[in-house]
């Protein structure tokens, strides 16, 4: 069913309904008969969910239906959250990015996906609509497990709120078997501070656990220290501590843990480099 | 299975249809509209064979439900083909031998079309980036890259023509 | 006159294929057509205890249901290409036992595919799981579970061949290099999947099949036998084919469609989805090979001993072929005087193995070219130098290898030298030394190969002890129509090779026309196309047999045109030549008759024909390659017939931190004799090479211990994209074959056969400081990283 308004969409989400946004993850599962919802609620026509807007605090509001391609081309995203654009560039290929949505990526909660990790590094929150009204939720609370979120079946993720991060340094690194594939592992980094001292750090690994995870030990190694390539290397050593990677057909847990270290170094080096600049 | 009414434009023509909710755009184009130039290679959005243009942007027609396309403008390889001849891109594909079995070609053309519409002077790396979501099992991509380069050059030299 | 042959002519078929006007199997819609879906086993190995399809039959929209037991009652087992020692009945659906995950046990025909799939969910099957047999070496053990208890073993074939004084050569050698190599399962995965439409005419008790099956001659024989109808009542039509590469054959699916169509009284279409294609159609045979090279201190290789275990999966369609075909390239391009070969063909509970661009030979080449690389390292010789020392020389052509393959032509040292030059081998060696100084891991890999073309089916006598089929041949038709335009047809349905163009080039030259005057029939239609049991799109055979068939038919028509013209012009036949769309009197400008006028005579004004000349301007011709012969008393065999050759040079860089391998440069120099259309030849080299690069770095059908396929979608089975491969650089030599009518040789497999070895050699070279030995593929980042951690690790 094609919802024309949020209320209509919410009203349709009773029982075994499933939200269809970009469909780039859901439709393959439908085609393979891996999911079989009684009802699909297409929210693409719901107005007001497809815009990127500046927040007065210097941050960004990103509608759930904003497509990956729009993140790449939006001057606002480039100016206020370039990390998000960098992450979006790694999502699939152009035809996928043209359809896939930010909200869909978060709601699907693939632990190897780029956008959830980048947004978690940016300390973003989500706005969730339910029949009782709206609620806000930090991203760390949205992801509760493998392909699982804290969204109730009758709720819709409508937007993402990204706090101001214009002065922060950022870095993004991943290794995938092929360009456009889900990463074997990757790291998104946001470091705050100045050329003399890092005052804050949020490092997030993806493809390294059942959800995107903060690398807190590595963050602790950064905060309070002067930004440098050596700092990146030192912090990276701590990176694998906070993730529990699993093994699959593309890589073992051990290799993923190694990659988290290597990629954390790359991401942090870029982030502190941008901070210093 | 419930049916959904949908109105859209396909290759410049208005189409009104009632489709099963689970019918993919690819099946709708091929079976309901007889536009068999769009090919289906994997049905899970990886191979790119079924790529078409939706509102001018590439999309996998196997990952879209026809019912989602209310009001959309869809262009397939049939719509990219001028009456009585080949487009600049099609001509370049032929001249450069950028196809063997031809099964990936419609999707490649849609992807190249989008690229050249946005970037009239792509480098070889730009071209490889753009077509990386379209698998070709025959050509090893070399001649596809050459063909898109050639088409880009021709289009630059004669600004009047479409890709 | 060869004005058109040899020209880089853009293809005729592209006018339709670039505009979406091709006709692929799924574009064919027969009136009233139903769509089939197959229920497939979730188990690798299990007894089918009970199967109840009654609920499926009752679903609205379902027109026919077929179970394994019903199929066994309504048809005969499928006859294998190479008979097994004990007959193993192989019906089109599994009957009481399934032997790989994905084996079909029942099928449904319904108004559309989605309804057919809905019906599958209503079929209840009770399985009793049996222990799987996943590893081919484990399958050899006496205590292994058996796929066919009546066979008493999983080994379909075991034999030992010795050619020359192998023991003596090993005894006299200065050294012996021993190594074990493995190859994984991979496949060329044509972008169009495999399928068929079957129609049954109850009035005639006749069937028509539309299919992208690439071997119509053999398939028609199987269909007739299994359906119990004369071949005269079968028609098989092949439309445009979206790639094949050896994968597109499964007579069982055609039979399922036929039985469903007979039940439903309506045409039935079945087309694999991609999961069915990846999991159940055909994988290149995986296996393990033990190689021993006996050599002299100067690097001369004097003998080769090979033990080869080929994992057939549940392949009863063409079992044992993966072993025997390796006798065609076992010594590769080298002058190795003594060869021993031990073959095991083993069944396992996995997807059937089968033909895949080079069938068996990529592994054979991988093992020999890896061994040569290791020998160069051991002797501290340059790997190019070692090869140049061992090649068969141009002056030795035709050269017969110990197992009996005859290398007809070529200059193997010259091919490698050209490749080294094009690659700038010396320059990159120097750059590599500098890069190593900077801590970078740059590697250069060389691999060269012979590229056989045309399969001589007589070789199967070595397995079965009797000759069921033999030789290599194809049939063609050329007809000047009454309007003077030409139609041609070939028993080999193209799957992307551009035959409509190349055949038109050949015919145009013979008849003094242009390719635009010649329409070559798309695909194949057994009711109009001339064909043989041996007909089909396989074995790299176009140049070996097809060209001769086309030429023979064209020349027969040409000669008839000349006879008619000579009669009409009252000159001697020898004085008539065909050029520029007319028959001319040699040396008399202006004296001639248009071919269109001669066609009018032949079809309409038949009193104008020479006395005794029958009306019409049509010829059919079948060409048998002259090199094929029966198996020799000494068990020598020409399993393949005409040999191209290729040299690959590959440059890789390894990321020390992640193990990721990047292909920086790949040069191919090939020699396929006379190039009939250089544009098409070059495209084939590009594509074939990338098939090999995919196998080297990305592609693997991986099974877990329970026999479940882990890489079952294009998300996990990784094909190379445009970003994973460099621009393949191609150069050529042209040493025509004396044994093909135009001197052309095979061109489809000179990329896929050596490319995996070239990449493996490059990666090993990049890791030379660590002393790593590459024994298997694909070279994933993690495997390379593990070597960087621990060079001794064998994986």
Give CA separation, C2 vs C230, C467, C506, C511, C514, in Å.
43, 39, 8, 11, 11
User: In the structure, what pLDDT confidence band is assigned to residue B161 with cuts at 50, 70 and 90?
Assistant: low
- Asked whether the beta carbons of C188 and C247 are under 8 A apart, the reply is yes
Task: Find tokens 């002065």 and name the residue.
Answer: A167
Per-residue confidence (pLDDT) for residue C320, from 0 to 100: 86
| Cα–Cα distance measured from residue A254 to residue A247, given in angstroms and rounded to the nearest whole number | 8
Q: What is the DSSP string of A140-196?
A: HHHEEETTEES--TT-EEEEEEE---TTSEEEEEEEESSTTSPEEEEEEEEEEE-SS
More confident residue, B114 or A45: B114
Chain B interface includes C713 (CB < 8 A): yes
CB contact under 8 A, B133 and A93: yes
Give the residue on A whose Cα is nearest the Cα of B118: A73
Q: Supply the pLDDT for residue C739.
A: 96
CB contact under 8 A, A179 and C723: yes
pLDDT at B162: 66
Neighbour subunits, A (≥3 Cβ pairs < 8 A): B, C
Number of neighbours of residue C466 by Cβ within 10 angstroms: 8
Instruction: Enumerate residues 462 to 521 of chain C having a beta carbon within 8 A of any beta carbon in chain B.
Output: 495-498
CB distance A249–C723 less than 8 Å? no
pLDDT band at A277 (very low <50, low <70, confident <90, very high): low
Judging contacts by C-beta atoms under 8 Å, the chain A residues touching residue C782 are 250-252, 255
Cis peptide before C398 (omega within 30 of 0): yes
Task: With CB atoms and an 8 Å threshold, state whether C780 touches A177.
Answer: yes
Q: How far is A238 from chain C (nearest CA, A)?
A: 17
Query: Which member of A1, A40, A95 has the closest CB to residue B51?
Result: A95
In this structure, the number of other CB atoms found within 10 A of the CB of residue A233 comes to: 14
* Helix, strand, coil % over all residues of chain C, rounded to 5: 30, 25, 45
- Give the pair of three-digit tokens for residue C321: 């072929």
Residue segments in chain C with a per-residue pLDDT below the cut of 50 = none
Is the model more confident about C85 or about A39? A39
Contacts of B among chains (3+ CB pairs under 8 A):
A, C
pLDDT at C422: 98
Q: For residue A32, what pLDDT band results from cuts at 50, 70 and 90?
A: confident
Residue C555 forms contact with B (CB below 8 Å): no
Residue whose C-alpha is closest to residue C179's, from C339, C290, C288, C305: C290
What pLDDT does C467 receive? 87
Task: Please tell me whether the interface predicted TM-score (ipTM) of this complex is above 0.95.
Answer: yes
The number of residues making up chain A comes to 277
Does the distance separating the beta carbons of A95 and B64 come in below 8 Å? no
pLDDT value of position B66: 96
B100: nearest CB among C188, C496, C725: C496
Q: Which of C569, C583, C592, C560 is nearest to C512 (CA)?
A: C583
The yes-or-no verdict on residue A14 having pLDDT over 80 is no
- Whether residue C778 is preceded by a cis peptide bond, meaning omega within 30 degrees of 0, is yes
State which residue of chain A sits closest to C723, comparing Cα positions. Answer: A179
Mutation for testing the B interface, residue in C9, C20, C666, C686 having most B CBs under 10 Å: C20
pLDDT tier at A139, thresholds 50, 70, 90? very high
Q: Which chain C residue has its CA at the smallest distance from A25's CA?
A: C715
DSSP C44-106: SSEEEEEEE-HHHHHSTTEEEEEEHHHHHHHSPPPPPSS--SS-----SS--SEE-STT-EEE
Least confident of A17-26, A59-68, A186-195: A17-26
Closest residue of chain A to C121, computed from CA coordinates: A33
Residue A277's CB: how many other CB atoms inside 10 A? 8
What pLDDT, on a 0 to 100 scale, did the predictor assign at position A72? Answer: 96
Inspect the interface and report whether the beta carbons of C275 and A32 lie closer than 8 Å: yes
Residue with tokens 């990386």, as numbered in its chain: B132
- Residue C794 pLDDT: 57
C614 Cβ contact list (under 8 Å, min separation 6) = none
CA–CA min distance C698, chain B (Å): 14
- Best of C191, C666, C690, C721 to mutate (most B CBs within 10 Å, chain B): C191
Predicted confidence (pLDDT) at residue B27 exceeds the cutoff of 70: yes
Alpha-carbon span C256 to C298, nearest angstrom: 60
Q: Do C715 and B44 touch (CB under 8 A)?
A: yes
Contact C14 B141 (CB under 8 A): no
Asked if B60's CB is within 8 angstroms of A95's CB, the reply is yes
User: What confidence tier does B84 reach under pLDDT thresholds 50, 70, 90?
Assistant: confident
| A44 contacts in chain B (CB < 8 Å) | 68
| Inter-helix orientation angle C425-437/C412-423, to 10° | 50
Give tens-digit pLDDT for C453-477.
Answer: 999 999 888 888 888 899 999 999 9
Q: Which helix (H) or strand (E) holds A177?
A: none
Mark yes or no for CB contact A251/C782 under 8 Å: yes
φ/ψ (deg, to 5) at C482: -55, -25
Q: How far apart are CA C702 and CA A211, in angstroms?
A: 26
Quick: pLDDT tens for B87-111: 999 999 999 999 999 999 999 999 9
Average pLDDT (B132-137) is 98
Average per-residue pLDDT for chain A? 94
Q: What digits encode the pLDDT tens for the residues A143-182? A: 999 999 999 999 999 999 999 988 899 999 999 999 889 9
Residues C544 and C536: their CA atoms lie apart, in Å, by 13
């Amino acid at each position: 069913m094609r919802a024309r308004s949020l209320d209509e969409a919410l009203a349709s989400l009773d029982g075994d309904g499933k939200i269809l946004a970009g469909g780039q993850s859901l439709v393959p599962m439908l085609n393979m008969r891996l999911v079989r919802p009684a009802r699909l609620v297409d929210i693409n026509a719901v107005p007001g969910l497809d815009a990127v807007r500046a927040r007065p605090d210097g941050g960004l509001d990103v509608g759930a239906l904003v497509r990956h391609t729009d993140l790449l081309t939006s001057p606002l995203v480039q100016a206020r959250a370039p990390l998000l654009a960098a992450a979006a560039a790694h999502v699939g290929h152009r035809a996928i990015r043209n359809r896939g949505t930010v909200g869909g990526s978060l709601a699907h909660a693939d632990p190897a996906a780029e956008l959830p990790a980048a947004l978690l590094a940016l300390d973003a929150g989500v706005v969730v609509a339910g029949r009782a009204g709206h609620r806000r939720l930090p991203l760390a609370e949205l992801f509760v497990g493998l392909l699982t979120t804290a969204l109730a079946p009758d709720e819709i993720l409508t937007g993402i709120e990204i706090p101001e991060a214009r002065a922060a340094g950022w870095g993004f690194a991943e290794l995938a078997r092929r360009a456009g594939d889900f990463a074997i592992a990757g790291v998104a980094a946001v470091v705050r501070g100045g050329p003399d001292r890092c005052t804050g750090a949020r490092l997030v690994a993806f493809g390294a656990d059942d959800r995107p995870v903060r690398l807190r030990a590595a963050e602790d190694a950064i905060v309070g220290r002067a930004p440098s390539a050596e700092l990146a290397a030192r912090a990276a050593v701590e990176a694998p501590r906070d993730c529990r990677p699993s093994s699959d057909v593309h890589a073992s847990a051990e290799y993923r843990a190694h990659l988290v270290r290597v990629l954390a170094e790359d991401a942090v080096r870029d982030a502190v480099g941008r901070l210093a600049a | 299975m419930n049916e959904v009414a949908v109105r859209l434009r396909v290759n410049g023509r208005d189409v009104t249809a009632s489709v099963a909710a689970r019918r993919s755009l690819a099946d709708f184009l091929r079976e309901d509209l007889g536009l068999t130039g769009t090919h289906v290679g994997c049905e899970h959005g990886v191979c790119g064979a079924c790529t078409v243009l939706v509102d001018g942007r590439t999309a996998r027609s196997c990952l879209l439900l026809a019912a989602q396309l209310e009001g959309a403008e869809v262009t397939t390889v049939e719509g990219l083909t001028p009456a009585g001849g080949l487009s600049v891109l099609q001509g370049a594909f032929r001249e450069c031998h950028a196809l063997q079995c031809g099964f990936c070609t419609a999707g490649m053309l849609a992807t190249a079309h989008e690229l050249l519409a946005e970037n009239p002077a792509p480098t070889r790396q730009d071209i490889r980036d753009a077509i990386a979501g379209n698998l070709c099992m025959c050509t090893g991509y070399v001649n596809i890259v050459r063909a898109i380069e050639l088409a880009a050059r021709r289009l630059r030299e004669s600004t009047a023509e479409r890709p | 006159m060869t004005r058109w042959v040899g020209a880089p002519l853009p293809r005729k078929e592209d006018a339709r294929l670039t505009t979406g006007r091709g006709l692929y199997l799924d574009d064919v819609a027969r009136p009233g057509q139903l769509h089939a879906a197959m229920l497939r086993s979730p188990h690798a190995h299990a007894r089918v205890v009970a199967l109840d399809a009654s609920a499926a039959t009752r679903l609205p929209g379902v027109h026919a249901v077929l179970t394994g037991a019903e199929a066994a009652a309504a048809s005969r087992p499928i006859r294998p290409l190479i008979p097994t020692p004990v007959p193993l009945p192989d019906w089109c659906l599994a009957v009481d036992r399934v032997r790989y995950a994905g084996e079909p046990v029942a099928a449904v025909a319904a108004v559309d595919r989605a309804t057919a799939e809905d019906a599958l969910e209503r079929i209840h099957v009770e399985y009793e799981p049996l222990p799987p047999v996943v590893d081919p070496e484990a399958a050899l053990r006496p205590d292994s579970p058996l796929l066919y208890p009546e066979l008493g073993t999983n080994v379909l074939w075991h034999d030992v061949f010795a050619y020359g004084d192998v023991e003596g050569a090993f005894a006299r050698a200065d050294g012996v290099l021993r190594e074990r190599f493995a190859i994984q399962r991979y496949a060329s995965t044509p972008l169009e999947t495999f399928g068929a439409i079957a129609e049954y005419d109850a009035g005639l008790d006749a069937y028509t099949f539309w299919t992208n099956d690439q071997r119509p001659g053999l398939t028609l024989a199987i269909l007739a036998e299994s359906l119990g109808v004369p071949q005269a009542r079968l028609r098989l039509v092949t439309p445009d084919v979206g790639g094949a590469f050896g994968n597109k054959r499964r007579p069982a699916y055609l039979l399922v469609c036929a039985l469903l169509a007979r039940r439903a009284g309506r045409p039935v279409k079945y087309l694999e989805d991609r999961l069915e294609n990846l999991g159940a159609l055909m994988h290149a045979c995986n296996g393990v090979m033990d190689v021993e090279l006996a050599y002299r201190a100067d690097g001369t290789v004097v003998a080769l001993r090979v033990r080869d275990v080929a994992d057939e999966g549940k392949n009863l369609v063409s079992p044992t072929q993966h072993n025997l075909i390796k006798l065609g390239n076992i010594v590769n391009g080298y002058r190795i005087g003594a060869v021993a070969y031990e073959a095991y063909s083993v069944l396992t509970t996995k997807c059937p193995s089968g033909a895949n661009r080079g069938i068996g030979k990529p592994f054979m080449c991988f093992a020999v070219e890896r061994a040569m690389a290791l020998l160069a390292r051991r002797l501290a010789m340059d790997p190019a130098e070692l090869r140049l020392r061992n090649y068969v020389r141009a002056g030795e052509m035709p050269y017969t290898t110990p197992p009996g393959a005859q290398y007809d032509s070529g200059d193997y040292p010259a091919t490698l030298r050209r490749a080294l030059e094009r690659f700038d081998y010396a320059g990159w060696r120097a750059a590599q030394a500098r890069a190593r100084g900077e801590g970078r891991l740059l590697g250069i890999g060389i691999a060269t190969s012979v590229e056989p073309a045309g399969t001589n089916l007589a070789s199967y006598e070595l397995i079965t002890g009797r000759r069921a089929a033999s030789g290599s041949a194809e049939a063609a038709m050329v007809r000047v129509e009454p309007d003077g335009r030409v139609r041609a047809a070939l028993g080999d349905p193209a799957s992307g090779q551009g035959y409509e163009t190349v055949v038109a080039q050949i015919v145009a030259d013979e008849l003094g026309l242009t390719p635009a005057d010649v329409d070559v029939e798309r695909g194949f239609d057994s009711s109009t196309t001339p064909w043989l049991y041996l007909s089909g799109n396989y074995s790299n055979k176009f140049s070996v047999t097809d060209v001769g068939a086309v030429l023979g038919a064209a020349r027969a028509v040409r000669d008839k045109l000349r006879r008619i013209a000579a009669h009409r012009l009252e000159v001697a036949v020898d004085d008539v030549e065909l050029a520029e769309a007319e028959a001319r009197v040699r040396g008399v400008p202006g004296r001639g008759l248009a071919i269109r006028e001669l066609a009018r005579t032949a079809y309409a004004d038949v009193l104008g024909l020479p006395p005794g000349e029958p009306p019409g301007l049509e010829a059919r011709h079948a060409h048998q390659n002259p090199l094929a012969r029966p198996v020799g008393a000494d068990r020598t065999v020409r399993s393949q017939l005409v040999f191209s050759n290729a040299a690959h040079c590959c440059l890789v860089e390894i990321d020390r931190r992640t193990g990721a391998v990047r292909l920086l440069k790949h040069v191919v120099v090939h020699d396929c004799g006379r190039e009939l259309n250089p544009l098409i030849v070059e495209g084939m080299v590009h594509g074939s090479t990338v098939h090999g690069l995919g196998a080297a770095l990305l592609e693997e059908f991986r099974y877990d211990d329970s026999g479940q396929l882990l890489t079952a979608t294009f998300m996990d089975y990784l094909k190379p994209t445009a970003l994973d491969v460099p621009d393949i650089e191609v150069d050529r030599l042209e040493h025509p074959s004396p044994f093909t009518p135009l001197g052309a040789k095979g061109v489809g497999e000179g990329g896929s056969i050596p490319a995996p070895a070239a990449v493996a050699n490059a990666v090993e070279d990049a890791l030379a400081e660590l002393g790593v030995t590459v024994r298997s593929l694909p070279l994933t980042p993690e495997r390379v990283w593990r070597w960087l951690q621990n060079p001794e690790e064998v994986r």
